[in-house]
Amino acid sequence: MEIGKIGVIGAGRMGQALISGLTASLVSPADVIVFDVDKSKLADLTKLKVKIAESSQAVVTSSDIILLAVKPQAIDKVLAEIKTLVSEKQVVVSIAAGITLTHLSAALKTKKIFRVMPNNPSLVGAGMAAISGLGKEKSDNAVVTKIFEAVGAVVFVEEKMMDAVTGLSGSGPAFVYLFIRSLIAAGKKLGLDEKTAKALALQTVAGSVAVLQKTKIEPTKLIDMVKSPGGTTIEGLKVLEEGKFQEMVVAAVAAASRRSQELSQ
């Protein structure tokens, strides 16, 4: 499958993660052109040998696929800059949280638009990206899928589910990192040195995820496998249940999802 030339507007952490993944496994650096108003971010990309553009307009006129990797607050400025240059032959992909396909399509006067919510683990090629799109061409779907598979896994969802996706997999890594930080803090409080506590916490979480992925056993059954009546695990679970741990996690995801909805307003 020929991907074509990819233009990236926005070189923040997620933009750089995508560029790194694309040039490592999918396209030649010579086929990637990037622009960001922050020149220091562009300097970070010199080692990847991608092309650097002088403006967002230059990105659009040189690309087959246009990746909008800017923050939601900056999206309208970028859309105004490029709206007269985007053609129906180009595919536009936005990763701006909360910005709807309708909003993007109205601004750019095109229907070959995809909205994607990638997440932080894309930095190491272990991301999760949810995609929804206006275009119905299978070839476009395949190209966008390939782009995000370069940095992790992909699912297609209806756009009405994107706020839920944002709360769960978009914001979710921060909640997981907080849990891991808490495990490390607990280990240190009980006398472990930080290096040992961190090693134990990281492998415990990684191993637990591996069990879920490889065995397909439901989490509730796995909890039952670890705990035993009168044992150590059940005492810890009692504390989490008393603190309404699950309810707090659900509330956190819901709050992030609501913020995504607010951004779309």
| Whole-angstrom distance, CA of residue 224 vs CA of residue 228 | 7
86 DSSP assignment: -
The residue with greater pLDDT, 40 or 254, is 254
Mean pLDDT of 251-262: 94
Judge whether residue 263 has pLDDT over 90: no
Judge whether residue 32 has pLDDT over 80: yes
Q: What is the mean pLDDT of the chain?
A: 94
Q: Among 53-57, 96-100, 104-108, 186-190, where is mean pLDDT lowest?
A: 96-100
pLDDT score of 1: 62
What are 197-211's pLDDT values in tens digits?
A: 999 999 999 999 999
pLDDT score of 144: 94
Residues in the chain: 265
Residue 63: its H or E element:
none
Judge whether residue 64 has pLDDT over 90: yes
pLDDT score of 208: 98
Mean pLDDT of 44-69: 93
pLDDT score of 166: 94
Structure tokens at 257: 């999802």
Facing residues of 91 across strands? 65
Q: How big is the chain by its Cα radius of gyration, in Å?
A: 21
The listed range with the strongest mean pLDDT (2-11, 123-132, 186-195) is 186-195
Judge whether residue 260 has pLDDT over 70: yes
Mean pLDDT of 162-189: 97
10 Å Cβ neighbour count for 38? 11
Mean pLDDT of 69-73: 92
Residue 4: left if φ>0, alpha if ψ -120 to 50, beta else—which one?
A: left
Side chain identity, residue 235: E
| Whole-angstrom distance, CA of residue 26 vs CA of residue 163 | 29
Of 71, 257, 74, the C-alpha closest to 170 is 257
